[in-house]
Structure 1
Amino acid sequence: MKSYSLNQHVFRLAAGLVLLSTLAILLSVWSSTTEHAKRELAESLEVARYVVAEVFSNREEQLFTNARVLTDDFGFKSAVASQDNATITSTLENHGNRVGADVMALLSLSGSITSSTSKGLQSGQQFPHPQLVQNALQQGGQNAFIVVNNELYQVLLLLVEAPNPIAIAAIGFKIDEPVLARLKSITLSDVAIVAEKQDSIIFKQSTLSDAQENYKRVNGVDELSWLSFIPSNQAQLITQYIPLFSDSDTKITLELSESAQTLLTEFAKLQKQISIIAALLLAISLIIAALFAKRISRPLRRLSTISQEIAAGMYNHKTFVTSHTTEIAALSDSFQSMQSNIQMREKQIQFQARHDLLTGLVNRYHISDVIEKKLSNKESFSVIGINILRFRNVNDVFGYSNGDFCLHTLSGRLEKLGGEAARLSGGEFLWMPKSRLSGNDLASIQTELEAPIYAENVVITLKLSFGQLHCPEDADDSSTLLKRLAITLDHARHLPEHRVRYSPDFDAEYTRRISIITELKQALHRDSPELSLVYQPKLCLDSSSISHAEALMRWTSKTLGFVGPDEFISVAEQAGLIGAVTDWVIKRAINDTKTLVDNNVDVCVAINLSAKDILNKSLLPQIKSRIAEAGLSPTQLAFEITESDLVSDAQGVYSELGLYREAGFTLAIDDFGTGYSSLSYLKSLPVNELKIDKSFVLNLDKNQSDQQIVKTIIDLAHNFDLKVIAEGVETLPSLSLLNQWGCNYAQGYFISRPVPVEQFMQWYKDNKNTDWISQ
């Protein structure tokens, strides 16, 4: 077959393609502009629909807020419960005037109108839409659009509960011409609302003029075709129908309309212009292609061949092409530079893909491949996981450059030990020694690796945890091994020696922790009844009265059963859920304190806070706001902070505690004697009370050492002008000793076990006059 040059091919093809190309461009442009016009109209209607939905949603939220204020009003609920019609009507009128509602009514649970401020809803009549009443009873509330007395309203039905449903409150706003005019000004689309009952129009309100009402209606842009975009004398309205409400015999529909005529005319002009330009550009392109085809075809073919060879990994080209054309010569030089750079970057990428750039050790992906190969070859080997404890503190205290130096130094020490070492992430390493290590061997290596590091005139001592696995006994694939290694390291950091050999029991503990995190997160999110607060009273020994109580959280999971607070609080702190737990406890405790006050139970409720809670600067303003909303004073709440938490960020904690003290809250050091007891922090801490840990009190009447410790703590606290609370009081002799030594408060099972708030109120009333010391 005869071959042709590129120039000949261009001309031969151009002559045949020019007509087809022009036609294709015209059709493509026509189709594209048509679709674009339809999208413009569709987007305009969609934006309008969204805005209308948002407006009605905001009105619904306003209705809900106003209705909730009404239904939560204690006086209103009392009037409803007592069927005080005069008070009900007055409340409805006042509330309606205050929020600008057009409809205010109270319905019985059967749907009968008890009281109303609207002429269309007469007392004694049945509510015209019984299904809405049923929905409100089932769902606790119902939003809808209804026609009353030839006028359209957006209404919300909301249950009145005390605490069981006793009535239904209805509140609504009129949908009239100003509302539609406002919607039109926002959406820039014409709006109409039509209500039909049994196929007869009972209400219609529209922003369309009489002339526009006669325009041809098109139901959405999907009914438009390319023929629709030919300018004509017949005006068209693109209308979108949105159902607002429907029941057995009534249907209310919102109509959004856009006039398509202006847009269609503009697009028709644009289509003509683009058609002319496309034809001219196509002709010019053919001429340019013919002129340059011959000049560039030969070097381009050569460069094409070379690029394919480079793509195949061949980087041995020294000379590419020679051309008198500057661009072709530059392209040839670029190809040569590209070959060199690709070769260099490929080597660099291969290294980076398998190594940690900071330490030079292999990374997780490479060591995973090594482990898989060893396991597939049935090799027996050990894996040691190494984690730098509190490595973040090293970066915070000494700076990131010194932190990086520590990582580099530690990796060098690992390489000197032989075997294979990898950096997994952060301060976590993996080491595979040449042979299995005994416990003593691992202890010696720990000492060697924890040797001080000298960096930039500072001495840094790292504390490491070690987790050891033996393969293939402990894992038969790399993913399982790395997972169990992480579990083992987590277990090791809680041990005094920070070393542990993997045990299958760790998997069960890990699974339980994951279950606790998952279940607790869901319970907090749902405010599940699985969670509860119980209250343990504190006996004031000075007056022999109950004036304080401690709020204690309890969790009985449907799947996990009873989970002790020591367990789930610890897991919550590790998982970052302690903030959500604290928020739940504070909210519930404030509500319960309000209940106690309302029932004449005058006690100060103590809530436990962690150092993380105290350092959360947004917590104190939230607490202030909530107690203000509940009508409580700061003296009715107290906070207990565990002693060991105080050293985590002493300066920050002291500063924040001072703000709590200034706000009027009572503060106590919890579990005193078990952490880092120090006279210096007792002197500077802005606290009111000191709580002796129960480990010193449980056997107080029998153990003389405990007696000496407790008496010393009481005297010490009083010297610092602090009041003393003893928890764990379980016998009368212990209580008598505490009273004799001047302890201010006692707490324990001898007085009362922790009980729910309802039982606590009854217990308080039963024991208000009990003489605890003389019994």
Structure 2
Amino acid sequence: MKSLKYKIFLLFVSILLIVQGITFYALYTTNKNQEVTEVNSRLTSAKTIFTDLFKRRIEYLSAFTAITAKESDIKKVFVDGNIRNLLTALNNQRQEIDTDLAMSITPDGLISGQLQRELINNVDASTGYHHFYNKIKHGIEVGHKFRYPNWFKSPQTSHIYMIGGLYYQVSISPVIYRSKRVGWIIFGFEINKRLANEFKKLTGLQTEFVLKEGEKNYLTASSEQHIQDFSQKEKLDLIEAIDEQRLPEHFIGTSSVMTRFEDRKLVVYMYSLKESIISMIEEQWWPLVMLAILTLFASLTSAYFLAASISRPINRLVNHAKIIASGHFQQNITFKEKNEIGQLANEFNHMQVALLQREEAITRLANHDLLTDLPNRHRLNEFLVGLKDDHFMMLHLNLSRLKDVNATLGYDVGDLVIQTLAIRLQKISEQQHVQFLVHLGADEFILIVDTMEVSEVSAQVNKELEEIFCFQGISLQLQVRMGIALYPEHTSDVTKLVQMADTALHHTRNTGSLVQIYQPELDVNTVERLNLINDLVQAIPANQFELYFQPKLCMTSRRVKHVEALVRWKHPTLGMIPPDNFISIAEKTGQIEALTRWVFTAALIQCKKWNALGLEINMAINISAENLKEPDFYDFVCHTIDEQNISPNQVTLEVTESSVVGDTDAAIQLLSKFKDYGLKISIDDYGTGYSSLAQLKQLPVHELKIDKSFIQRLEKDVDDQIIVRSTIDLAHNMGLKVVAEGIEDEYSLTWLSDYACNYAQGYFISRPKPASELTPWLLNPPCFDKVDYQI
């Protein structure tokens, strides 16, 4: 029997491939290192050759100049002053070492002689050939002062001298006759193409001579180009790349400073294509590459046949696995071989049976609740799809007082109660008009029944629950709350029906009722509200809020010296949103802190503008109960008032009664600090909260603001008149001012004035307005002494 392990033995071919890959990588790395070494060696050698030869050239030129200055013939012509003889002597000396420049300078620094070698290009008119020959000419500086008199005293023996755009490497030496300096002589080699070619022959690299003046480069001479024809700009770019060590990868290059003088220096640059240097190494590399490729091909061929021999039975198993994955568990797979593959096939068959049993169990678990074995939410969604065209009623049931059972008797008893409820509800589901029973989880169930009266369904459910549940001598009366939604009366979308029934059930918890049919007004978590929650986060950064201001009329002076700041949300798509629609959202989502601080700052900025106009207006600003819990709210308020240079007595903080109910002591302590600082405190919406008179007595407030619900019906409701009159008397007896809001008619204003209300606020006096509209109104207010107060 051929074992699978025997076949796997052939996988050692793969090991061979790995070893070969490692060997190939090692050879490749060695080759690359050799290339780098060869390039560095070439550059180092070229730089060394150039430096050595150039140094010798300088020494040779300096020695020749010094020796020539000591010769008697030279000294004689300097003393005689015969220019012709001087030039002849200079030219004879120049020819000895074939220099390109010879100069003589008088003791007073005047150039008395200057000889330059010029290369003449002569074109034969008949043949068109170019003939080059040398010509010695007089330099253009004869009779001029020598430009670098500091060279006479410089210890440096070599300098760079420029004449008419030509650069020379020169050496200067004094001529001494009878211990007296009678002048100087200068000899020099032109730094030209011929010199560059000489160095190129020695180094094998393209040679460029560059004069550097500060950040600027001037190309003085280049060798013959064999790489490619570069323009002067391209050469300068290559030179800059060598300086910055960012040469293109296919180039090599180096540089060396020839000499420095003042703020200039002469630099030689040598470069070449890398391929010209490493071509020989690459020729040695290719045979190794070809050998590696052939070996790799042979290894892959062997591996292919090995894989083919193993993969055939495995492919059968893979195909069978796909059949199992598609949900078909009845087909078995058989192998004649008794090796490991045959054993694996048998295990596949056993796995099929186990998977079939497990899938059936998972399917049931996915569609049924573990505790009650009733259909669950997933099964409910599937069932609802089939009821789209029917009329039915959905009851969302919630078992009452289960938390008390869990807390008192434990969760095991609670689970037993839920199971008992499920059994009793199953009896109802057996009736013909009941279509489906679902356990959503915990103590919540769903009943779907044919359209019938709500009272009938409720009565049937209560009848089944009449029997007392007993456990270890403890008797419990099972009771459920019901939220009811109708299809298609409430919605044509069955997926929303559960949500509506849950909304109705939630309402029963708030009201204490046992049955509630869904009503649209019960749905507080609308899509619009969710969108506002999301949009509110970006509203302040997007500058979507703006302030409106509503005046408060002083009933005694008939003047407006108080306004209330009211925030408005100018939504980009929904338009103007009143505060009642988003303040509660801000409080619940934690955005009220940022909103209140924006309102406070914006209100004080406007107050400062009115102060500048001579309008000393008291600014009332609403603060939330959440603001009173902020640890740094007091510091923020004080800092903002100081920053805007507003007097504290110009600011009134309006706080609702409910703001101080949660933590009365902390709220009173903070409000007392505000009062001590100089701010005025007002209790807003007085009469709608839960504060007692004892609590009101402790609050450090200056005024009460009577809620508009008591003001708007003063003319018709005697009880409201009694409440308002009593509140005014109570406030005055406690030393507090009274503000009445919501005044919308003349009767209310007159009545409040008769009963000594201090301030009046409402549409009858003025609607809330932005500052741009209210400012002219404040500067020129209407006359409030007459009956017609409306604007």
TM-score computed with the length of structure 1 as normaliser: 0.50
TM-score computed with the length of structure 2 as normaliser: 0.49
Pair member with larger Rg: 2
